[in-house]
């Protein structure tokens, strides 16, 4: 099967990570994949904060419900929306989603695991991240070498999702 299609199908949300650090080249490759996401009018409204220091990971872990996931992951990428960069809320949010999916797929393609944590507009978390006045937290994505191999979550059949006209 084509590698991209294969990656889309075999990606899983990973919530348990090995202690092993993630190589800098892999982090760069993931950030690069994020950068190449599509966005309306090519506004690229995402801003990315890479959280690696043990202090910040611990601070984030204390604030986020799924504490161990954040604390144990060697890195977490926080995706922020720069409200000054965007032009239309719906389209900006769609672009952020594309950026997040690129991050998940790139991580998976590099043998890493990741999970999208839907934590939005949280002032305390934004403070820990050093978010600027016009930046809003959209999601946190802990990343690391997987320490679990979960089975696929069920998907609805195409017949239920698709109408051809």
Ligand X SMILES: Cc1cc2nc3c(=O)[nH]c(=O)nc-3n(C[C@H](O)[C@H](O)[C@H](O)COP(=O)(O)O)c2cc1C
What residues line the site for ligand X (CB under 6 A)? 12-13, 15, 66, 115-118, 153
Closer residue to ligand X, CB minimum distance, 58 or 67: 67
Closer residue to ligand X, CB minimum distance, 60 or 117: 117
**Of 117, 113, 84, nearest in space to 100 by CA:** 117
* Least Å from the CB of residue 117 to ligand X: 4
Using CB positions, name the residue nearest to ligand X.
118
How far apart, in whole angstroms, are the C-alpha atoms of residue 162 and residue 52? Answer: 41
Per DSSP, the residues of 139-165 read: EEEEEESBS--PPPPP---HHHH----
Closer residue to ligand X, CB minimum distance, 153 or 164: 153
* Least Å from the CB of residue 3 to ligand X: 18
**Residues for the chain: how many in total?**
165
**Of 2, 4, 16, 24, nearest in space to 109 by CA:** 4
* Least Å from the CB of residue 99 to ligand X: 12
């Amino acid at each position: 099967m084509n590698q991209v299609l294969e990656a889309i199908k075999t990606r899983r949300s990973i919530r348990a990570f090995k202690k092993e650090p993630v190589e800098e080249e892999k982090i760069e490759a993931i950030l690069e994949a994020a950068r190449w996401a599509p966005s309306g009018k090519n506004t690229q409204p995402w801003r990315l904060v890479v959280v690696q220091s043990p202090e910040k990971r611990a601070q984030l872990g204390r604030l986020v419900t799924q504490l161990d996931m954040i604390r144990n992951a060697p890195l977490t990428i926080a995706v922020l929306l720069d409200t000054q960069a965007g032009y239309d809320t719906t389209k900006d949010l769609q672009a952020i989603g594309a950026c997040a999916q690129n991050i998940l797929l790139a991580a998976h393609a590099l043998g890493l695991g990741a999970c999208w944590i839907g934590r939005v507009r949280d002032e305390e978390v934004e403070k820990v991240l050093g978010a600027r006045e016009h930046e809003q937290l959209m999601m946190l994505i802990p990343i690391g070498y997987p320490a679990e191999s979960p089975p696929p979550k069920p998907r609805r059949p195409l017949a239920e999702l698709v109408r051809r006209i």
